[in-house]
Chain A
Amino acid sequence: MLSNKRSMLINGNFISGLVLAALGSYIFTQALNWDYMTIEGPGPGFFPYWYGLAMVFLSLLLVASAILEARTSENPKTVNWSEVGRALSAWLLFSLSVFLMKYLGFLIVLSALTWFVIKFMYQQNQKIAITTAIGISVGFYFIFAYALQLNFPVGPLGL
């Protein structure tokens, strides 16, 4: 019984279905604030009204089928959280880079990101990490900033 419940909770369809149902209801309620029909034709609320409603309906269907599946299936899929953790930390790292780019400039942040990925996420030795980090930044500089004359976010050192 307990394991059944747990598998239901970690079931991705169940959770994502609920999230999408919430989003659908949000869209639907927002749509109610806008005109559904105007004198000239359908208003800004017309379209969101219908796809919001469809979203709620379909996501609830998904939730229902997830519950049914959880009841019947004997071997619920387990999630390897360490894998998910690695992917999410990669995402956090990327977001952090976007944040720092405003202050440090693109090239410095790209080198740091590269170095970090190689050194810590792929555990290569320092030499590879540093040379690649510098190499990639120099390459980006030459291809995009120098040859194609595109402008990057620039940091304090003018890089």
Chain B
Amino acid sequence: MLEKVSLKMLDLSNSKKTGMACLFIYMLSPFSLHADFKPTKPIEFVVHTGPGGGSDLLARFIVQTVEKENLSPVRFQINNKTGGSGVTAMTYMAEKKGDTHTIAVFTGNWLITPLTRSETKVSVKDMTPIARLVLEPALIAVKSDAPYKTLKDFIEAAKKSPGMLKQSGGSSTSRDNVVRQLLMKSTGSNWTFISFPGGGERISALLGGHVNVMVIEPQEAGEHIRAGSLRVIAQVAEKRLPGFSNIPTLKEAGFNIPNVPQVRGIVMSSGIPVDVISYYENLFYRLSKTATWRKYLEDQQFEDGYQKSAELSHFIDGYTDQMREILKEAGAKVIR
């Protein structure tokens, strides 16, 4: 049954055929390859946000899906190691060297924070990548009564009155600001970025007409678009999202800037034996193919970002280099 499902998935997927095929072989002969390692006690699942944060909700959904679909012989136990913008959790993982029963959710922050913070002593380089799970796309939205019909309109307006238009967003190293920096640089325009700590405050500022534009998550924006209070002028994604098939991606709209995905996945500490890596790799591969997971991705409007360990390791290197360049250009002090 499981094989059949994954076969179907294979047919549907249009990228990374070879990688998938390899995994497919894993699937057919799980015992010959993974008989060596079996977890013997509950698996500690480290999360760097408090209960209810983005990574925490993802982790709790994973735990629930693992239980529901019977993917693991032992329980997953969430441990919220909050503090230090994720640094506390990263340090904790680095200390767990060789621990085969501890995994953690990582996000783009884990890759970016060590680049600029002298307080951090560890980075994802000191850990073992296991699987990339989701990519979170974004939309660029304006208020529906704004004069900008396309991103080009907005950029033109920003060029006319530099610094007068405003964007609401998160911290200065957040994706929102990175996208802005890239756009401003490639078009020679200029507008102001105003930081708000909470997502609610960012949308309120846009809806209330206090700022002009926002990089917003599709799921956050969906209802406001349906109610007619927001208009999407571009999407920050590799390919168009199913719910927004008439909106161009940045590339399609003629803005040739690198895509900045928000990424989440699983890492372990360093010094993990190969058979253990492939055990977890396989577990999360099976997870990513379950119907429950598919529905979750659809509801949250995430892109399926599954990558196995080796690919993820490659991705992390590329992503870190890219972010280093972007941060340098944005004027941040890069120390690593």
The answer to whether A binds B is yes
Residues 148-190 of B contacting A (Cβ, < 8 Å): 163
Q: Which residues of B contact A39 (CB under 8 A)?
A: 163
Q: Which residues of B contact A83 (CB under 8 A)?
A: none
Shortest CB–CB separation between residue A69 and chain B, in angstroms? 43
Q: Judge if A40 is at the interface, Cβ distance under 8 Å.
A: yes
Cα–Cα, bound, A39→B193 (Å): 11
Shortest CB–CB separation between residue B96 and chain A, in angstroms? 15
Which chain B residue shows the least CB distance to A151?
B79
0/1 string, A60-76, CB within 8 A of B gives 1: 00000000000000000
Cα–Cα, bound, A76→B327 (Å): 60
Q: Which residues of A contact B193 (CB under 8 A)?
A: 40
Residues 118-171 of B contacting A (Cβ, < 8 Å): 163
Q: How large is the interface on B (under 10, 10 to 19, 20 to 34, 35 or more residues)?
A: under 10
Shortest CB–CB separation between residue A111 and chain B, in angstroms? 25
Q: Judge if B192 is at the interface, Cβ distance under 8 Å.
A: yes
Q: Which residues of B contact A40 (CB under 8 A)?
A: 163, 192-193
Q: Which residues of A contact B192 (CB under 8 A)?
A: 40
Shortest CB–CB separation between residue A122 and chain B, in angstroms? 36
Residues 1-46 of A contacting B (Cβ, < 8 Å): 39-40
Shortest CB–CB separation between residue B165 and chain A, in angstroms? 13
Cα–Cα, bound, A39→B191 (Å): 11
0/1 string, B80-92, CB within 8 A of A gives 1: 0000000000000
Q: Which residues of B contact A151 (CB under 8 A)?
A: 79
Cα–Cα, bound, A151→B44 (Å): 13
Cα–Cα, bound, A43→B273 (Å): 48
Cα–Cα, bound, A40→B193 (Å): 8
Cα–Cα, bound, A8→B5 (Å): 83
0/1 string, A38-57, CB within 8 A of B gives 1: 01100000000000000000
Which chain B residue shows the least CB distance to A40?
B192
0/1 string, B43-82, CB within 8 A of A gives 1: 0000000000000000000000000000000000001000
Cα–Cα, bound, A39→B190 (Å): 12
Which chain A residue shows the least CB distance to B192?
A40
Cα–Cα, bound, A39→B162 (Å): 12
User: What are 5 A-B residue pairs whose CB atoms fall within 8 Å in the complex?
Assistant: A39-B163, A40-B163, A40-B192, A40-B193, A151-B79
Give B contacts to A, CB under 8 Å.
79, 163, 192-193
- 5 closest A-B pairs by CB: A40-B192, A40-B193, A151-B79, A39-B163, A40-B163
